[in-house]
Amino acid sequence: MRRSSRLAAALALLFAGARVRAADPADGSLTEKIVCREKPDQAYALYVPASASGKPAPALYLLDARGRALLPIERFRAAADAYGWILVSSYNSRSDTKDDPNTPALQAMWNDTHGRLALDPRRTYLGGFSGGARVAAALAAQAPRAIAGVVAAGAGFPEELPKGGFPVPYFGTCGDRDFNYYEMRALDAELAKAKVTHRIAFFDGGHDWPPPEVAARALAWLELEAMRSNLRPKDEALAAKLFAADLAAAAALESAGNAAGAWRRYAEAAEDSRGLADTAAAAAKADTLGKKDAARQAVRDAERRDARDRAALQTLSGKVRAAARDPEIPAAASLAAQLGIPALKTRAASGAPEERRSAERLLANLRVETGFYLPEEMLARGDAAHARLMLAVAAEIDPDEPRVYYNLASAEARAGQTRRALHELDRAVAKGFRRFDRLDGDPDFARVRDDPEFRAWLTEARARSGPSGAPTPPGPVSAPSPRAPGAGS
């Protein structure tokens, strides 16, 4: 956590010395891009709800893994309206990079927003996705007096849980098809054992920011924690409303036959509103459901499935890394068969619901390993042949995804193989790739960009697609974008 420690130390000093002042009035609107006054190379999106106008408001600073500043604001906007939170989201945050872009991004946003807005100095929160979630957790662990809580999406801590637990409330979210699902499941149990104030909410989806309803639950939970810790005045009406919403969600799970989910939700409702509402009935309901065979069996089945899948992931990772070291490079289809990819795809398409999700999670792990992390390692050491193999395996997982062929073209271009790069770009175009503007700025294509054959291909491809080209169809949320840092971690 050396990098995160430097970040924490720098921002702790910054927080301690800052003064709240309101230069620009809150107007209840979204400002899509603000260039920082003191750091013009830094920019962020800002949402100030009308309910935050005229008084110091809590602020949630957001770190997306690829600097998509508007995406998390879209997810948290309704919740910000409901609870009067200001949202500040960086265009410069990244993960999976060799340098540390998050320290300057956070410092610049902090300085600039405190020069414009009235912010509650006791209620600064950090939110992050993927590698950004790890940065947020690391900072809060190092500077708990400056940070009131964390919302972590799609990833846990940079390393192990800090000694002594975690010092601020932690709300984690994760898709049930995320490649980091098993990490977040284990983290939930670990935080509970360490008696850390936390919630981890799983949603239907892949590696992504939470949907608006889960984002709303995160901020609602932090509101309750702020009341309990006297960071904000107690609001009996709001506490009663949030408790009623939790009970309704638990009752809906029970009505749907999800005994284990209802058990958990009733227990969480009782714990979250303890001291703020009469929770005795919710606690009794949780106790009753927890004794039922259906709930206990569902929990045991989930634990067995997790253990089985973790063991499978270890085996798959070993096979992939062995192939990455083997001087005799197999055909991608052969390695895909050894990894059981065809069988996993069949199970993901036609198995029972829990087995489908299990298969999708295993495929998601293979996708990010073969489509991003291992190729990066191999290209960094000049091993284009094995990088090509890994990316070809990723294409076996997602044969209709244009990004995998773009990534293959990137690998060939980095090796100076113009014709091979163009062959893969042709395949990407055939699958729907149209973002030719990326080829002008992507550093992976620097070695071939001035090649006459490459220029001729690009001119012809642009002409075929029209003046601007159609956007490339989006791939799976959990799949890395072409050469984009922050795909996972």
pLDDT of residue 55: 83
The correct answer on CATH 1.25.40 for the domain covering 314-465 is yes
On the CB side of 399, CA atoms within 13 Å amount to 7
**pLDDT tens-digit readout, 211-231:** 999 999 999 999 999 999 999
- In this prediction, residue 27 carries a pLDDT of 58
Query: Which range (70-74, 101-105, 462-466) has the least confidence?
Result: 462-466
Starting from the edge strand earliest in sequence, which strands make up the sheet with 57-63, in order?
30-35, 43-47, 86-90, 57-63, 119-129, 149-153, 170-175, 198-203
Other residues' Cβ atoms within 10 Å of the Cβ of residue 380: 11
Q: List the beta bridge partners of residue 198.
A: 170
Distance of CA 466 to the CA centre of its chain: 34
Distance CA 187, CA 160 (A): 9
Identify the H or E element spanning 30. strand 30-35
pLDDT band at 98 (very low <50, low <70, confident <90, very high): confident
Q: What is the mean pLDDT of the chain?
A: 89
Q: Which two tokens stand for residue 483?
A: 């050469």
Q: Give me the residues paired with residue 90 across strands.
A: 44
Phi/psi-derived region of residue 340, left when phi > 0, alpha when psi is between -120 and 50, beta in every other case: left
The residues facing 89 across adjacent strands are 45, 62
Mean pLDDT score, 369-397: 94
**What is the predicted pLDDT for the residue at 12?**
52
CA angle 395, 328, 321 (to 5 degrees): 60
Q: Which CATH superfamily is domain 2-233 in?
A: Alpha/Beta hydrolase fold, catalytic domain (3.40.50.1820)
Structural domain spans, the chain: 2-233, 314-465
**Residue 484 in this model has a pLDDT that exceeds 50:** no
Residue 476 has pLDDT above 50, yes or no: no
Flag whether pLDDT at 485 surpasses 90: no
The rounded distance, in Å, linking the Cα atoms of 156 and 196 is: 14
pLDDT surpasses 60 at 157: yes
**Helical residues (DSSP H) of 209-292, grouped into ranges:** 212-228, 236-255, 259-272, 280-290
Q: What are phi and psi of 159, to 5 degrees?
A: -135, -135
Query: Tens digits of per-residue pLDDT, 2-59?
Result: 444 455 455 554 454 444 444 454 457 899 999 999 999 999 999 999 888 778 999 9
Kindly state the average pLDDT of the residues 131-158. 94
DSSP state, 162? P
Q: Tell me, what's the pLDDT at 474? A: 36
